[in-house]
Amino acid sequence: MKTAVFYGVEDLRIEECATPEASANKILIKIDACAICTWEQRVYTGVKKVEYPFIGGHEIAAEIVDLGSEIDQKNWKIGDKVVFGTNLACGNCEFCKSGEEQSCQDFNHSKHLEGLPHKGMGGLSEYMLVEPKHLFHYYNVTPEEAAFTEPLSCVVHSCETADIHYGDLVVVIGCGIMGQLHVALSVKSGATVVACDLNEERLQLAKENGARYVINSGTQNLKDEVARISHGLGANVVFDTTPIASVVEDSVSIVGNTGRVILYSSFYPDEPVGFSPDQLHKGSYSIRGTANSNSRDFIRASKMISERTIDMRPFISEVVTFDDVEKGFKSAIKGDKYRVVVKF
Amino acid sequence: MKTAVFYGVEDLRIEECATPEASANKILIKIDACAICTWEQRVYTGVKKVEYPFIGGHEIAAEIVDLGSEIDQKNWKIGDKVVFGTNLACGNCEFCKSGEEQSCQDFNHSKHLEGLPHKGMGGLSEYMLVEPKHLFHYYNVTPEEAAFTEPLSCVVHSCETADIHYGDLVVVIGCGIMGQLHVALSVKSGATVVACDLNEERLQLAKENGARYVINSGTQNLKDEVARISHGLGANVVFDTTPIASVVEDSVSIVGNTGRVILYSSFYPDEPVGFSPDQLHKGSYSIRGTANSNSRDFIRASKMISERTIDMRPFISEVVTFDDVEKGFKSAIKGDKYRVVVKF
Amino acid sequence: MKTAVFYGVEDLRIEECATPEASANKILIKIDACAICTWEQRVYTGVKKVEYPFIGGHEIAAEIVDLGSEIDQKNWKIGDKVVFGTNLACGNCEFCKSGEEQSCQDFNHSKHLEGLPHKGMGGLSEYMLVEPKHLFHYYNVTPEEAAFTEPLSCVVHSCETADIHYGDLVVVIGCGIMGQLHVALSVKSGATVVACDLNEERLQLAKENGARYVINSGTQNLKDEVARISHGLGANVVFDTTPIASVVEDSVSIVGNTGRVILYSSFYPDEPVGFSPDQLHKGSYSIRGTANSNSRDFIRASKMISERTIDMRPFISEVVTFDDVEKGFKSAIKGDKYRVVVKF
Amino acid sequence: MKTAVFYGVEDLRIEECATPEASANKILIKIDACAICTWEQRVYTGVKKVEYPFIGGHEIAAEIVDLGSEIDQKNWKIGDKVVFGTNLACGNCEFCKSGEEQSCQDFNHSKHLEGLPHKGMGGLSEYMLVEPKHLFHYYNVTPEEAAFTEPLSCVVHSCETADIHYGDLVVVIGCGIMGQLHVALSVKSGATVVACDLNEERLQLAKENGARYVINSGTQNLKDEVARISHGLGANVVFDTTPIASVVEDSVSIVGNTGRVILYSSFYPDEPVGFSPDQLHKGSYSIRGTANSNSRDFIRASKMISERTIDMRPFISEVVTFDDVEKGFKSAIKGDKYRVVVKF
């Protein structure tokens, strides 16, 4: 089979390796589609450091092609359409065993997965050998849409962390694809959504995704606008989907009493953020982190995509063949697209 | 009637004023007991600034002595034993109307209450004129115990904000009375409680209140001890009950993945606190403020005190008569006691 | 002023009475719109017994026209647009004081409200005298839309009782207006919604409100269809919005493990329902009641209507003038409409 | 090794079989203690039907004695003290994958576990071959105490289903061991606990476990007593821990508005229960099933036992050696004891 391997900054090569075989409690899947996440883009550009060689790809839709002998054939059949994930967690720690794999003590993007020639998440390969606990069925939709299960599952986790109530005022800061998914899911939480970005085109898209208000923070005063829209109460929820530490302080400045500021993104660089403990105490608001997703989130995302509760098609900016994977990366890092999806 | 009025730093005078009369939708209560909170102690010593003259006292147990004509006599009877509170919130803002009076937009310690000669919370008076929405019945116990309803209600709010689960490791930093109440209520939440202070005597009391482990942060390394006790997982909940901003950073340093750091106290002075946004994101923990309490918290606290689910008697360090109120203050500010209670 | 008074079955008369005056802690509102709920329709037709004379009307949008002297003028101004509700609860019991007015121990549809000549909820009058705690601001939309705040608030309470998660399969049984509002709010909860009714026209409307699947229980087998749609798992939530006791058993028959059956409607007649305690135990599902709404629900509904998170306009079937109120009742009880709204 | 096998009603035989060997992703554990649950007692007496031969035992404390080659040696070491459970769920269905193994679609008490000669839960054997996902560490306490992790985990699940708040009035009906554990855990939830049984001795024990009130339903009127204790409000939570269907109706009769009736036990026989849907609707209370436990519950129970948050020692009525296992069963079914524990 073929797999796409990072050998250095902007050095991505397709190479041949042995196709793994199903046995015991393992299932062989053939990858149908793998979306190119910002994480892999950062590996490609060198912002994110990994040990080379490294196989990327973790937004994966696939088909079952073979079953190990111990696999329960009532649940898993050859030809089943599935998404794959949650396998970067250790599976052994208290968080994993409590169903909180997203907060695993030993989360590892660089495992050496059985059946692959190198370390890495492995989705940019034709086949993967996986355990059934990391597979989730999907229905009705295309593999390109299903490949969004992993990113949507992370947004499910984020929105549940935010504890959104009907009628809440939710501000989403940053309108890249993860911001847009936050907009779309917050709308599907009964909230009034305010999208904030510097880019008018992205704000227009946020409106199409259901944002009721948009704020261009280049030309408008964020705090004044939120005060106006909220009748002086501040936001109930602020999602910071940017990697910029100083935006955290902006986020805290617009949250209202009892509100929740959610830090969704990794920070590059991770500079310290300051806040007033007395104001946080008196306003009884909170600052909450969210990262990754767990099996329950995967199931919820997979059901929402399968039933097109949120339609993923507008988020597919470009589809490339596996042979054109590097072209896909070059296109993705331009930053003017949502997702580029590799179709196998 | 008599009321105790602050006229300046360490200048507390008992003065005569007219006793108010019940009418319309108001109830006249005779104060039975009023505990001297740290808040009033700070007014007495001048750390907390108020506009003089000012009548303190907000941890109040009383008896109904007269009913206005509009009062529902099925619910309220002369002779009923009650606690009084939640009246500092405005009652009109969205937070108040949603049952979140503790986070009122316009919380005010210095209202001029009807029936009193000066501004202030008013509990250091022989009588008060109140609305039934701010009264809550209590049963079985003494007024001195019932006077703890207000502080316990704040701890109820704090512990609910912390979302304690069975078996959680809860660290309480600071073992003054509010810390001790956090210890006691966390024990009654099914948690394993670790108490932390510099004072051995207080740590001993925390043990009596149910703490399973104690850490003397003067002689032991907080972070190492929490790592040891938690088998390397960190705390699920950290309550910071101190007014010292730098302790927030200690609190954040010991919380585990998915954990919650709760800022319970006001901060004197309110210095900025720094944290790493990337660590908060990756560890998916949170920093949450809590302050004051609402009617629901009052009801829960009142039921717990009435049934001695938590026994308040050990927290009554001294009882003084109203005539000796200043003696009570002088005793309270020594800092070696839990509560000094004024008995009327 | 004029008020519309029930004097018997199908005997509704408009009569003159004195206009009340604002004083003390009361606000005078001029009714702009009042929708005709099924409750009042049942009074009109005699299905619901009340003591005559009786003034109906509880889905109320209004404008502030005068303020009593004790009213906080920062929060309330003449000309403010408001909805009115939650005043049927006693305000004194533990449920009311805990913010659970919907479950008041002494809920009373037949209070004699101050300023009105007879008992009853009073909204079919030109003016009402009210306390600020029962008023909630609305913005942007027409009074006819705002009059839906009360019914939507009840659906908010119901959907929160159901604890809907992203991707859940929600079945709504009965597609009258309250069923349709359940469909619309469940869609805004991230659920996949299945609507069930005997009437094709109503099912078509449910689709327009966002239902992904419809089941005509006259021609299709409910249980088979739910099994098919849910891949054999059963529904996560079933809302029974009908007044028919036997439908509860249908509802229980389609709920999956850990699912929730919600009894939203009153039952006419209230016949006993049977269930297997062992199946409920083993499947760990639940049967939950919901009724009425509280202040928090009112705020959430009012915000959703004000921001058109759910657009109420399609639910306004007919608008009549106050003089034509009886014509409105005759039209409403035909049963082929959503809401008939009385415009003042 | 030896294993104890049911061959018929009151026909329990110890037999020799091959000791399994650790390999691949399996761990070999040596059983230290296994408690005799009511479930196995019902198998022994024939009330619960199983297919013979059958190996019982599912309340298990053990020690790791060998590790398969794929096992993560950082997490699992020879000599580790562990409890074993949650393996009766299928692991593949949506409930299992969402961390709700207790509500598995395909829960099976009669699996044929690898390494054992017959079907059954297997804990009455000297060794078991298990997957690490079903193992949980415990600390500090004896194996006899740790064997209570499985039953306590079920009570954890039940109490979380009940959503107990501070100060709630919780009534536990039935004071066998599972009732007593409900008493103890409700006390550790900040509730006021009322225990109800026909047996005075059991009621006395409930008091020792923290019940504030007891009701002998043989000599006292349950409904009157609950009304008196709750000041007319009814119970917030009622746990029915009996297998008697008619007790469900008693439970519903004492629950207050917004309250929760929890059906904890299996029902023998499973007779239909009737209720008024209109009362459930108007009182907005609920009837909720709970059964078994999941990994998160196991972790919580294991931590509570390890830290003696609830001390299990009073619940160990008798300890027998494995050779005396049948003596243990004969003693257990007398019904005058909590747990008889088999020590290996």
What are the structural domain ranges in chain A? Answer: 2-148+312-343, 156-289
DSSP A31: E
Answer whether B99 touches A (CB < 8 Å): no
Residue-wise pLDDT tens digits, D80-112: 999 999 999 999 999 999 999 999 999 999 999
Question: Mind telling me how many Å the CA of B176 is from chain A's nearest CA?
Answer: 18
**Mean pLDDT over the full length of chain A:** 97
Mean pLDDT of C136-165: 98
Answer whether C156 touches A (CB < 8 Å): yes
Which residue in C97, C156, C297 has the most chain B C-beta atoms within 10 A of its own C-beta, making it the best mutation to test that interface? C97
pLDDT at D53 > cutoff 90: yes
Mean pLDDT of D303-324: 97
Q: How far is residue D96's CA from residue C258's CA, in Å, rounded to a whole number?
A: 12
Residue D260 is predicted with a pLDDT of 98
Question: Mind telling me how many Å the CA of B156 is from chain D's nearest CA?
Answer: 8
Q: Which runs of E-coded beta strand occur in chain B? A: 2-8, 11-16, 27-35, 54-55, 59-67, 81-84, 119-120, 127-130, 135-137, 169-173, 192-197, 213-216, 235-240, 255-263, 273-275, 286-289, 316-321, 339-343
Q: How far is residue B233's CA from residue B169's CA, in Å, rounded to a whole number?
A: 10
CATH of domain A2-148+312-343: 3.90.180.10
DSSP C340: E
Mean pLDDT of D311-329: 96
Residue-wise pLDDT tens digits, D104-155: 999 999 999 999 999 999 999 999 999 999 999 999 999 999 999 999 999 9
Answer whether C105 touches B (CB < 8 Å): no
* Cβ contacts of B302 on chain D, cutoff 8 Å: 167
Q: Which two tokens stand for residue A159?
A: 């929105």
Residue-wise pLDDT tens digits, D218-231: 999 999 999 999 99
Q: Do B295 and C136 touch (CB under 8 A)?
A: no
Q: Do A97 and D24 touch (CB under 8 A)?
A: no
Q: B336-340, C219-223, C224-228: lowest mean pLDDT where?
A: B336-340
Residue D200 is predicted with a pLDDT of 96
Answer whether A185 touches C (CB < 8 Å): yes
Answer whether B212 touches D (CB < 8 Å): yes
Mean pLDDT of D173-194: 98
Q: Which two tokens stand for residue D34?
A: 């296994």
Question: Mind telling me how many Å the CA of D96 is from chain A's nearest CA?
Answer: 9
Using CB atoms, which residue from B278, B285, B291 is nearest to A284? Answer: B291
Q: Do A99 and D94 touch (CB under 8 A)?
A: no
Mean pLDDT of A185-214: 97
pLDDT at D335 > cutoff 90: no
Q: Do D99 and A94 touch (CB under 8 A)?
A: no
Residue-wise pLDDT tens digits, A135-170: 999 999 999 999 999 999 999 999 999 999 999 999
How many inter-chain contacts (B to C, CB under 8 Å) are there? 49
- Determine if the pTM surpasses 0.90: yes
Neighbour count for residue B108 (Cβ, 10 Å): 13
Percent of chain C topping pLDDT 90: 98
CA separation (Å) from C112 to A69, A266, C25, C51, C53?
75, 60, 18, 11, 11
Which residue in A141, A159, A309, A311 has the most chain C C-beta atoms within 10 A of its own C-beta, making it the best mutation to test that interface? A309
- The one-letter amino acid at B323: D
Using CB atoms, which residue from D105, D283, D288 is nearest to C103? Answer: D283
| Three-state DSSP class for residue A83 | strand
Residue D254 is predicted with a pLDDT of 98
Q: Do B299 and C91 touch (CB under 8 A)?
A: no
Q: Do B72 and C93 touch (CB under 8 A)?
A: no
Residue C68 is predicted with a pLDDT of 97
Answer whether B93 touches C (CB < 8 Å): yes
pLDDT at C336 > cutoff 90: no
Q: Do A278 and B284 touch (CB under 8 A)?
A: no
* Cβ contacts of A25 on chain D, cutoff 8 Å: 25
Q: Do D286 and C285 touch (CB under 8 A)?
A: no
Answer whether D281 touches C (CB < 8 Å): yes
pLDDT at C116 > cutoff 90: yes
Q: Could you give the residue ranges of the DSSP H alpha helices within chain D?
A: 38-45, 94-97, 143-146, 149-162, 177-187, 200-208, 222-229, 245-254, 277-283, 295-306, 325-332
Mean pLDDT of A265-289: 96
Residue D319: burial class (beta carbons within 10 Å; 0-12, 13-18, 19+)? middle
CATH fold of the domain at A156-289: Rossmann fold (3.40.50)
Q: Do A98 and D72 touch (CB under 8 A)?
A: no
Write the DSSP assignment of B59-115 as a string of letters: EEEEEEEEE-TTS-TTT--TT-EEEE---SS-SSSHHHHTT-GGG-TT--TT---TT
Q: How far is residue D33's CA from residue D151's CA, in Å, rounded to a whole number?
A: 14
**Does the CA dihedral B123-B129-B134-B135 come out positive or negative?**
positive
Using CB atoms, which residue from A137, A168, A307 is nearest to C212? Answer: A307
Answer whether D213 touches C (CB < 8 Å): no
Question: Mind telling me how many Å the CA of D13 is from chain B's nearest CA?
Answer: 38
CA separation (Å) from A126 to A5, A77, C303?
12, 19, 50
User: Is the ipTM of this structure higher than 0.90?
Assistant: yes
Q: Of D158, D126, D110, whose CA–CA distance to D60 is shortest?
A: D126
pLDDT at A335 > cutoff 90: no
How many inter-chain contacts (C to D, CB under 8 Å) are there? 127
Q: How far is residue C287's CA from residue C265's CA, in Å, rounded to a whole number?
A: 13
Kindly identify which residue of chain D lies nearest to residue A95, measuring between CA atoms. Answer: D296
Q: How far is residue C21's CA from residue C115's CA, in Å, rounded to a whole number?
A: 8
Residue-wise pLDDT tens digits, C9-61: 999 999 999 999 998 999 999 999 999 999 999 999 999 999 999 999 999 99
Residue C270: burial class (beta carbons within 10 Å; 0-12, 13-18, 19+)? middle
Mean pLDDT of A297-310: 98
Question: Mind telling me how many Å the CA of C227 is from chain D's nearest CA?
Answer: 13
Which residue in A92, A104, A108, A302 has the most chain D C-beta atoms within 10 A of its own C-beta, making it the best mutation to test that interface? A92
> Which subunits have 3 or more CB–CB pairs within 8 Å of chain B?
A, C, D
Which residue in D140, D153, D166, D309 has the most chain B C-beta atoms within 10 A of its own C-beta, making it the best mutation to test that interface? D166
Q: Do B307 and D212 touch (CB under 8 A)?
A: yes
- Give me the residues paired with residue A35 across strands: A59, A341
Residue-wise pLDDT tens digits, B65-113: 999 999 999 999 999 999 999 999 999 999 999 999 999 999 999 999 9
Q: Which helix (H) or strand (E) holds A63?
A: strand A59-67
Write out residues 216-275 of A within 8 Å (CB-CB) of C: 231
| Three-state DSSP class for residue C101 | helix
Q: Of D177, D190, D65, D179, whose CA–CA distance to D130 is shortest?
A: D65
Which residue in A257, A267, A297 has the most chain B C-beta atoms within 10 A of its own C-beta, making it the best mutation to test that interface? A257
Q: What angle do CA D117, D120, D126 make, to 5 degrees?
A: 60
Answer whether B24 touches C (CB < 8 Å): yes
Question: Mind telling me how many Å the CA of C300 is from chain D's nearest CA?
Answer: 20
Residue-wise pLDDT tens digits, A252-275: 999 999 999 999 999 989 999 999
For residue B53, say if its preceding peptide bond is cis, omega within 30 degrees of 0: yes
Residue A72 is predicted with a pLDDT of 92
- What is the greatest pairwise CA distance in chain A? 63
Write out residues 63-92 of B within 8 Å (CB-CB) of D: none
Answer whether D309 touches B (CB < 8 Å): yes
Q: Of C18, C153, C140, whose CA–CA distance to C85 is shortest?
A: C153
pLDDT at C155 > cutoff 90: yes
* Cβ contacts of B103 on chain A, cutoff 8 Å: 257-258, 283-284
Q: How confident is the model at residue C335 (pLDDT cuts 50, 70, 90)?
A: confident
Q: How confident is the model at residue B116 (pLDDT cuts 50, 70, 90)?
A: very high
Using CB atoms, which residue from D76, D92, D299 is nearest to A94? Answer: D299
Are the beta carbons of C272 and C245 closer than 8 angstroms? yes
Q: Do D300 and B189 touch (CB under 8 A)?
A: no
pLDDT at D250 > cutoff 90: yes
Separation of CA A210 from chain center: 20
Q: Of C84, C88, C75, C87, whose CA–CA distance to C28 is shortest?
A: C84
Neighbour count for residue A108 (Cβ, 10 Å): 13
Q: Do A191 and C299 touch (CB under 8 A)?
A: no
Mean pLDDT of C236-262: 97
